[in-house]
Amino acid sequence: MKSVTKIAFRIHGLVGLVAGIFLLLIGLSGSILVFYHEIDATVNADKLHVEPNGRLPLPLDSLFNIVAQNTDSSTGILYDAYYSNPNVAYEFRIYTPMEKSHSKMWLVSINQYTGEILRNGAFDFSTSFLHWLLVFHYSFRLGGFGILLTTIFALLLFTSLFTGTIVYRKKNFKSLLFRFPLRTAKGNFSISNFHRGVGVWSLVFNGIIFFTGFLMTWTSLTPDYWKDEDKIPLRQHAFLPKVSIDSLLNEAKIIFPDFEVKSIFQSSEDTTEFSISGDMKSTSSIYKPNSASATFNSTTGELIKTFDINNEKSFDNWWGLSYSTHIGTFGGQTTRWLYVFIGLTPGLLSISGALLWWRRKKQKHSDRNKNGI
């Protein structure tokens, strides 16, 4: 068993040195993005604050048309209704083609009461640091190659968690009971105990967060992900349904009782389908958001298919659960705030692990000098 521990120790250290800085960046950016919509609405209040003044929002047909007319060629348009606040402008995402067919997002924020465009630009610093950070979180802003990197680093984190559990297996239970002194006998801060304590207490949450993130990007490991697809004929403006979007939304609300819309998407790649996604109040929060959807023929308005996670098989339930557990919404505000702090632990582990490695290296060098080597 000693040999296994020794091998695990070496792998654990190597993974930390190779992936540490990247895991720190992924975790830190994730902590900030937990409250992405709320922070954006606050930081950019000068651009996004709107006043109803007794008015109702304009019909979605009108808003979609305004956004489409103010958008260059696209492969799809999405209305993001996740953060619903009557005093915050509606947000639309426009998908434009990029290399390897991995879409690049464009953002349009619109005053839902007047139709005025308040913000129009790419998902970068031109619209908000948060938009730049969102893309960085899952791709390091390197396109498809960056998504592949985040997938690999997720696997490396699993390796680090597994090997760390083996290395510290005799002390894991004590760490769970907080029976690890943060001060040495000489009164110095114990980096080793701190590293072990943070690792043990964040083990389950980090495993869940990175595993669910891996589920979202694992296709980057498959050959099909890198195949060049036929170029999609671009439209000067985003394609819009020939039937009323508002009427389709009303039909979705009939299909799903107490339905709360979270997103509406029209793809220019397949112009026959128009999708409305959201949640029913009766659905467990662990499956939200987007636990139900209705897809219509955008030309005739005919219902093509519906999805309700409550009626799906176990795999689909697991997939729905994976998203809510990744972003921390399954337990309301409590789990979201917990995720803010959990997101900091990969950085704490990377920094403390690097310090331990440097201390061991320095000690070995000192021992060699003493022995005249």
pLDDT bin (cut points 50, 70, 90) of residue 233 is very low
The domain limits of the chain are 2-32+142-225+338-366, 49-127, 245-330
Two structure tokens written together for 94: 């426009």
pLDDT tens digits along 243-274: 999 999 999 999 998 999 999 998 776 567 89
- Give the percent of the chain with pLDDT over 70: 85
CA distance 305 to 275: 9
CA distance 183 to 175: 14
Q: Say if 49-127 and 245-330 have the same CATH topology.
A: yes
Mean pLDDT of 326-339: 90
Two structure tokens written together for 125: 């610093």
Neighbours of 130 (CB within 10 A): 19
Mean pLDDT of 216-232: 76
Cβ atoms of residues 163 and 19 within 8 Å = no
pTM of the predicted protein model: 0.84
pLDDT at 343 over 50: yes
pLDDT tens digits along 11-64: 988 898 889 899 999 999 999 999 999 999 999 999 999 999 999 999 999 999
CATH architecture label of 49-127? Roll (3.10)
Q: Verify cis geometry, omega within 30 degrees of 0, for the bond prior to 241.
A: no
pLDDT at 232 over 50: no
pLDDT bin (cut points 50, 70, 90) of residue 320 is low
Write out the CATH class of domain 245-330. Answer: alpha beta
Q: What is the mean pLDDT of the chain?
A: 85
pLDDT of residue 45: 95
- Helix, strand or coil, per DSSP, at residue 114: coil
